[in-house]
Amino acid sequence: MIDALGSVGSLLLVGGTSDIAVATAHRYLRERPLRVVVAARDTPRRSAVAEELRAAGGRVEVVDFDADDPGSPARAVAEAAAGGDIDVAVVAFGQLGDAEQLRTDAAAAAHLAQVNYVAAVAVGTELAGRMRTQGHGEIVALSSVAGERVRKANYVYGSTKAGMDAFYSGLGDSLAGSGVSVLVVRPGFVRSKMTEGMPDAPLATTPEAVAEAIVAGVRGGRHTIWVPGAMRWVMSGLRHTPRAIFRRLPF
């Protein structure tokens, strides 16, 4: 149970090897020991993350999760819930893709949509069902500002995040009064393994800053947050920029 002061007893990381997921677990573990379920593909990186979180004081369990496998969301959520209630689930998996290739490779574009949108919808539906039954819980969905106004430079990625963001926002509204809530997180450019080698965008942030914002957002009962916070006003401006101008912007 999330207690009266917002402290968390159990955390599920779907896409548990993502930098933001790991940073969020560390941020919670800094407050008190808790149960952490790492759902990810069975890779050396998963073992390393599990070890790292154990060393930080977590009671760590691992379960298999593969966004390419349609049966995986149901299995992963059921396995995670078998060990007890899930207080907070962070949906952190996703890929950026190669924007150049995605422009022409239909299979690659469909695959990115499968991972970033279709699998995210399945995971959200499974989590919501489980949490409705347990009567409490918080789903944290890692969206992106890229989905808020889709740019020509990475429109395939942006569109998957737009869909995912819309799904989780609507899911959150549908859960009002059920004891379950959803926090949609919209980071700007995050320096992480996903963006390795790319030049910093303005207002670039870090996984640790996103983790900090997630913990504060859950504690404060927020529904949507931007990281950094100033990104909210930037995006608000961009959302209302006429298309004729927007498509000429240099990004």
Partner 1 sequence: MADPRTAEEVLLTGWGRTAPTPARLVAVHGPEDAAAVLAARTPRGVVARGLARSYNDAAQNAGGHVLDMTAADRVLDVDLAAGEVEVEAGISLDRLMNLFVPMGLFVPVTPGTRYVTVGGAVAADIHGKNHHVAGTFSEHVAWLDLLTADGEVRRVGPDRDPELFWATAGGMGLTGVILRARIRMKPVESSRIVVDTDRTPDLDSLMSLMAGTDHLYDYSVAWIDCVARGARMGRSVLTRGRFARRDELAPEQQADPLRYSGRVRLSAPGVFPPGLLNPATVAAFNEVWYRKSPRRKRDQLQTIGAFFHPLDGVGSWNRVYGPRGFVQYQFVVPDGREEAMRRALERISRSGHASFLAVLKRFGEGNPGMLSFPLPGWTLALDIPVVSGLAALLDELDELVVGAGGRVYLAKDPRVRPEVLEQMYPRLGAFRDVRRRVDPEGVFTSDLARRLSL
Residue among 5 and 106 whose Cβ is closer to partner 1:
5
179 part of the interface to partner 1, by CB under 8 A: yes
245 part of the interface to partner 1, by CB under 8 A: no
Do the bridges between strand 88-91 and strand 137-142 make them parallel or antiparallel, or are there none, so unpaired?
parallel
Between helix 119-134 and helix 72-82 the angle, nearest 10°, is: 30
2 part of the interface to partner 1, by CB under 8 A: yes
CA neighbours within 13 Å on the CB side: how many for 31? 18
222 part of the interface to partner 1, by CB under 8 A: no
Stretch that binds partner 1, among 4-12, 17-25, 43-51, 150-158 (CB under 8 A): 4-12
135 part of the interface to partner 1, by CB under 8 A: yes
Measured CA to CA, the distance from residue 131 to residue 133 in angstroms comes to 5
Residue among 70 and 135 whose Cβ is closer to partner 1:
135
Measured CA to CA, the distance from residue 227 to residue 145 in angstroms comes to 9
223 part of the interface to partner 1, by CB under 8 A: no
- The residues assigned a catalytic role are 157
35-62: b or e for each residue (b if 16 or more CB lie within 10 Å)? bbbbbbbeeeebeebbeebeebebebbb
Residue among 4 and 245 whose Cβ is closer to partner 1:
4
Q: Which of 43, 133, 174, 236 binds partner 1 (CB under 8 A)?
A: 133
Residue 150, token pair as written in the block: 């889709």
Residue among 119 and 139 whose Cβ is closer to partner 1:
139
Q: What is the sign, positive or negative, of the torsion defined by CA atoms of 236, 143, 146, 203?
A: positive
Measured CA to CA, the distance from residue 167 to residue 170 in angstroms comes to 5
Q: Which of 41, 132, 222, 232 binds partner 1 (CB under 8 A)?
A: 132
In the complex, the smallest distance separating the C-beta of residue 9 from partner 1, rounded to whole angstroms, is 6
Q: Which of residues 65-84 bind partner 1 (CB under 8 A)?
A: 84
CB-based contact 62:50 (threshold 8 Å): yes
In the complex, the smallest distance separating the C-beta of residue 221 from partner 1, rounded to whole angstroms, is 9
178 part of the interface to partner 1, by CB under 8 A: yes
129 part of the interface to partner 1, by CB under 8 A: no
In the complex, the smallest distance separating the C-beta of residue 39 from partner 1, rounded to whole angstroms, is 21
**Angle (CA) 39 44 46, round 5°:** 20
Residues that bind partner 1 (CB under 8 A): 1-7, 9, 31-33, 84-85, 132-136, 177-179, 219
